[in-house]
Amino acid sequence: MKLFFKPGACSLSPHIVMLETGLDFTLVRVDTAAGLTEQQEDYRQINPKGKVPALQFDDGTVLTEGVAIVQYLADQKPDRQLLAPLNTLARYQTLAWLNYISAELHKSFSPLFGDAAPKAYKTALRQQIVEKLAWVDSELHDNQWLLGLHFTVADAYLFTVMRWAKSLQLDIHSFASLEAWFQRVAARPHVAAALAAEGLS
């Protein structure tokens, strides 16, 4: 399998999950602005949406969308407990987190990284994200991981967007449970390995 990524982008989430599963894969860097892989392939031939992440199987088939990729990967190695089994409530609670992180957090960050959005819109988005992270912080008061006992695919995804919150210097300093959780995730060897492989440590 090949995992197409851009350093620090949302592709960090499946990259972490891939390392946590122990599956064999090749990491391929993409310059999304140029639309080229590191081998100078036209990336839109691989993912016509032009976005990372994408997972390409050995037969050439491609799976896109981070939340789909992490579920696929986690299901290949159920013993790693990165995603609860089918038909358990815990699985659907994990999917609820993935959806929340994708729809409510991830896409609120996107305009903050470019110059196109007006300043007032960016200020409002920053405030909305902080309010949502206050709720996430409260969910972590009594939990080591988002789903309680186990590190899951949801923790990998939230960690990825929390790195953006920090780089954008959002006002999250009072969220002690969230910060403690962030440090727990960062201390996992596979998370450190993913960051190092992306040149982020």
Would you count residue 91 as binding ligand GSH (CB under 6 A)?
Answer: no
**How far, rounded to the nearest angstrom, does the alpha carbon of residue 138 sit from its chain's CA centroid?**
20
DSSP β-bridge partners for residue 31: 36
The residue (of 66 and 73) whose beta carbon lies closer to ligand GSH is 66
Question: How far apart are alpha carbons 118 and 101 in whole angstroms?
Answer: 24
Binding to ligand GSH by residue 32, rule CB under 6 A? yes
Name the minimum Å distance from CB 21 to ligand GSH.
Answer: 18
Binding span for ligand GSH by CB under 6 A among 47-55, 78-86, 175-183, 187-195: 47-55
Contacts of 121 (CB under 8 A, 6+ apart): 111
CA angle 68, 163, 11 (to 5 degrees): 30
Which x/- pattern, by CB under 6 A, does the window 97-136 give for ligand GSH?
Answer: -----x----------------------------------
Spatial separation of the C-alpha atoms in residues 63 and 166, rounded to whole Å: 29
Minimal CA–CA distance to 78: which of 152, 147, 12? Answer: 152
Total number of residues that touch ligand GSH (CB under 6 A)? 11
Per rule CB under 6 A, is residue 33 in the interface with ligand GSH?
Answer: yes
Kindly indicate which of the ranges 5-13, 18-26, 83-91, 130-138 contains the residues binding ligand GSH, using the contact rule CB under 6 A.
5-13
